[in-house]
């Protein structure tokens, strides 16, 4: 029995040796080769069309057509200049330096604006005067009259009076020789009349009010009366009275305090925006109490020539 079992065991062993192990390479078995994974061919991204490719240089936005710049505003809300208020101040009196005049010669009050024309402020004061139906006198500087002839034309066209304020506002004009002074005033008149051929320049105001008898005489020989002032709110003295609201309030208070029937009032339009603001309050106040006029532009009678000595 034992012999039979041993024979069977030997036979089994021999069979196993002939077949080999499937998992042991040393036993002579064959290692199964795994099936290769199927190759995955990457799908290429579709090439973008040329129309979809952004340009390296962005296309420029269309250039808008140039528009004309709006002119600076020349007036605010319309001014109401109605109503009358009685006043009882005494009539202006006195005389200016060098024989110049400082009063109108009647109960009417004359507003005068110096040193322009100014391309910003002069249109604003003209608008305000027009709204109130008031005429004034503009004492203009020669080279500014040349440079802003359109404003000289407007001043004359709207019924205001033009006054010669010298060519370049030299405070020492009276110290120059007669020929220089005459040429200075003649050139200023020439620029005024070039812009307003139908106007008459019947007045002269010395820069700074620095009149002398010589200046008054030469102006008279050129057909001009010399005008000083009765009321000076000193709107040019910002170092003392400030700017903005402080100056506006000062100008209003000074004019209301000092004006009289017959006053010639000095103010400035060139470079003085606070003065323009002040007159939006002053014009209704003044018109309610006084007749406001432009100085008449009739030429004075020239002096008779001196009788030659025998």
Percentages helix, strand, coil for the chain (3-state, rounded to 5) are 40, 10, 50
Q: Point out the catalytic residue in the list 160, 230, 268, 274.
A: 268
Q: What is the DSSP letter of 163?
A: E
Question: Checking DSSP bridges between strand 201-204 and strand 137-140, what pairing results, if any?
Answer: unpaired
3-state DSSP assignment of residue 155: helix
Token pair recorded at residue 53? 């490719």
DSSP-assigned letter for residue 117: -
Q: Cβ distance 100 to 259 under 8 Å?
A: no
CB count within 10 Å of CB 159 equals 13
Among residues 272, 286, 282, the alpha carbon closest in space to that of 244 is found at 272
- Measured CA to CA, the distance from residue 126 to residue 150 in angstroms comes to 13
148 is catalytic: no
Determine whether 250 is an active site residue. no
Which of the following is catalytic: 114, 127, 184, 269? 114
Q: Comparing C-alpha atoms, which of 200, 142, 137 is closest to residue 173?
A: 142
Active site members: 114, 268
């Amino acid at each position: 029995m034992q012999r039979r079992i041993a024979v069977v065991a030997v036979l089994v062993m021999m069979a196993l040796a002939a077949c080999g192990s499937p998992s042991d390479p040393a036993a002579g078995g064959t290692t199964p080769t795994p099936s290769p994974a199927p190759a995955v061919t990457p799908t290429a991204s579709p090439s973008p069309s040329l129309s979809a490719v952004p340009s390296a240089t962005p296309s420029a936005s269309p250039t808008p057509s140039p528009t004309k710049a709006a002119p600076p505003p020349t007036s605010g809300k319309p001014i109401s200049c109605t109503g009358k208020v009685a006043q009882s101040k005494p009539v202006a009196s006195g005389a200016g330096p060098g024989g110049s005049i400082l009063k109108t010669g009647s109960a009417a009050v004359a507003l005068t604006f110096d040193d322009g024309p100014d391309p910003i402020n002069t249109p604003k004061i003209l608008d305000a005067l027009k709204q109130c139906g008031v005429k004034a006198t503009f004492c203009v500087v020669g080279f500014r009259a040349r440079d802003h002839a359109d404003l000289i034309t407007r001043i004359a066209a709207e019924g205001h009076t033009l006054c010669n304020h010298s060519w370049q506002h030299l405070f020492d004009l009276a110290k120059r020789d007669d020929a220089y002074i005459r040429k200075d005033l003649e050139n200023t008149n020439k620029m005024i009349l070039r812009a307003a051929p139908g106007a008459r320049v019947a007045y002269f105001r010395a820069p700074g009010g620095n009149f002398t008898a010589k200046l008054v005489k030469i102006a008279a020989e050129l057909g001009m009366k010399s005008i000083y002032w009765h009321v000076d709110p000193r709107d040019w003295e910002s170092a003392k009275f400030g700017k903005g609201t402080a100056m506006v309030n000062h100008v209003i208070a000074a004019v209301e305090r000092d004006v009289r029937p017959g006053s010639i009032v000095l103010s400035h339009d060139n470079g003085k925006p606070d003065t323009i603001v002040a007159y939006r309050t002053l014009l209704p106040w003044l018109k309610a109490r006084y007749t406001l006029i432009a100085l008449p532009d009739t030429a004075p009678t020239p002096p008779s020539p001196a009788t030659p000595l025998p």
